[in-house]
Amino acid sequence: MYLGKVIGTVWATQKHHALVGEKLQLVQPLDATGTSVGKPLVAIDAIGAGAGETVMYVTSSEASVPIKTRKKLKLVPTDATIVGIVDSISIKTQFETVDSETR
Amino acid sequence: MTLGKVIGTIWATRKDEGLVGMKLQIVRPVGLDLQAKDGFLVAVDSVGAGVGEVVLIATGSSARMTEITKNKPVDAVIMAIVDKLDVAD
């Protein structure tokens, strides 16, 4: 699962029948500090995110799972799906050293 | 999914039997400004896209998630034709 920011919307009337009714969003991947990394991608929006929102998305074959479950289909051609809207992120700036003896 | 523009078609008579009947398109990736980027890929067309159209491509194992590509040796499929892009500032 990755973090990203919704930066736009894609309209496509003609698409695979499994994707009819699904919203397509442009997502700019982010790192944990909210900085843009890499190139934007297009993702199916399974939860109704809006432009400017920080989201979580899944990629590869797991991306079809939310749509498969909801529509009870076996084949859904998507390799990126938004599965959550992020409210807040809390990260530690410095990681604690792990003592090897306590492992 | 990535955005791309169909720039050509591939004909191949001799191919894996799983690919028989599939339309193979040459797709060049494009950026948000729809300007072409380097490189290209060959994708199976599941929606009937034509040369010059901007399309969405699913890659990897997700490309086998259509009726025509299920269990076939395919790693890129065109699954939507893009009408419009709306990019927020």
- Global ipTM: 0.82
| Residue B41 located in a structural domain | yes
- pLDDT digits over B9-23, tens only? 999 999 999 999 999
CA–CA distance, B26 with B4 (Å, rounded to integer): 10
CA–CA distance, B23 with B19 (Å, rounded to integer): 9
Q: Please tell me the predicted confidence (pLDDT) of residue A103.
A: 36
- Give the rounded percent of residues in chain B with a pLDDT score beyond 90: 92
Q: What is the CATH number of the domain that holds B11?
A: 2.40.50.220
| Residue B86 located in a structural domain | no
**A2-88: in CATH 2.40.50.220:** yes
Interface of chain B toward chain A, CB-CB under 8 angstroms: 1-3, 31-32, 46-48, 56, 58-63, 65-67, 69-70, 77, 79-88
- pLDDT digits over A57-100, tens only? 999 989 999 999 999 999 999 999 999 999 988 877 666 555 55
- How far is A85 from chain B, CA to nearest CA, in Å? 18
- How far is A35 from chain B, CA to nearest CA, in Å? 16
| Residue B89 located in a structural domain | no
| Cβ contacts of B74 on chain A, cutoff 8 Å | none
Residue of B nearest to A63 (CA): B62
| Residue B88 located in a structural domain | no
| Cβ contacts of B46 on chain A, cutoff 8 Å | 16, 77
Pairs of CB atoms within 8 A across A/B: 99
| DSSP notation for B9-37 | EE--SS--GGGTT--EEEEEEB-TT--B-
Average pLDDT of chain B?
A: 94
Give the amino acid at B58. A
Determine which helix (DSSP H) or strand (DSSP E) holds B41, and give its type and residue range. Answer: strand B41-45
- Which residue in A11, A24, A75 is closest to B70 by CB distance? A75
CA–CA distance, A90 with A34 (Å, rounded to integer): 11
The number of folded domains in chain B is: 1
Average pLDDT of chain A?
A: 89
| Residue B33 located in a structural domain | yes
CA distances from B23 to A12, B6, B72 (A): 20, 12, 13
Name the CA dihedral angle for B69, B72, B76, B81, rounded to a multiple of 10 degrees.
-10
Is the model's pLDDT at B1 over the cut of 60? yes
Q: For an interface test with B, which of A6, A15, A54 has the most B Cβ atoms less than 10 Å from its Cβ?
A: A15
Could you tell me the residue range of the domain that residue B32 belongs to?
A: 2-81
| Cβ contacts of B86 on chain A, cutoff 8 Å | 8-11
- pLDDT digits over A4-44, tens only? 999 999 999 999 999 999 999 999 999 988 899 999 999 99
CA–CA distance, B42 with B75 (Å, rounded to integer): 9
- Output the six-digit token pair for B21: 């009947």
Give me the residue spans of the domains in chain A: 2-88
Cross-chain Cβ contact B84/A79 below 8 Å: no
